[in-house]
Amino acid sequence: MARVKPLAELLEACIGPAFAAQGFASTDILAAWPDIVGPRLARHCQPSRLEWPRRRRKDEDGRPESGTLVVRVEGVFAIELQHLAPVVIERINAHYGWACIGKIVMQQGRIDRGARRHAAPSIDPARRGEVALAVSQIGDEGLRDALDRLGTAVVAAGPKR
């Protein structure tokens, strides 16, 4: 019998290299983006890449110097994001537990919302059960639901067995 793999293993293997090429050490910033900036702002902006300083210096706590998050934002929401930038930076840093972001740079452009408009993907019930089992032991209901949705999306987008 095959062991159930943690969702993080599947996610990192699928899209980790693409995120690393854009400067993201982890894939969860896109998944957590609506929780960080709120659903209204998340509909009109998304992280594009993370730029780290050319010289890798460390602060007094031994952590790397803060990076710059490049965020693609639609039209008039750039002004809203500009006003909320200190709050967004604080929330991102709180999410990761250290001051990884020092500033936000906005890049105007269209946001791809195509994936959000589609109905829930249909997947094999056995694979759906694997995802449900993998997240069933998580105590926090919000986190469990978010990971369940993410796992379902990853399984639906992955190769068929």
- Residue 93 sits in a domain whose CATH number is 3.30.300
Q: What DSSP designation does 147 have?
A: H
What is the reported pTM? Answer: 0.54
Q: Is 41 found in the same domain as 75?
A: yes
Residue type, 127: R
pLDDT tens for each residue of 108-154: 998 876 544 444 556 778 888 888 899 899 888 888 888 888 888 88
Q: What is the DSSP string of 86-136?
A: HHHHHHHHHHHTS--EEEEEEEE-----HHHHSPPPP--HHHHHHHHHHHT
Which structural domain range is residue 142 located in? 123-157
Cα dihedral: 2, 10, 41, 23 (round 10): 160
pLDDT tens for each residue of 38-63: 888 899 999 988 888 876 666 666 66
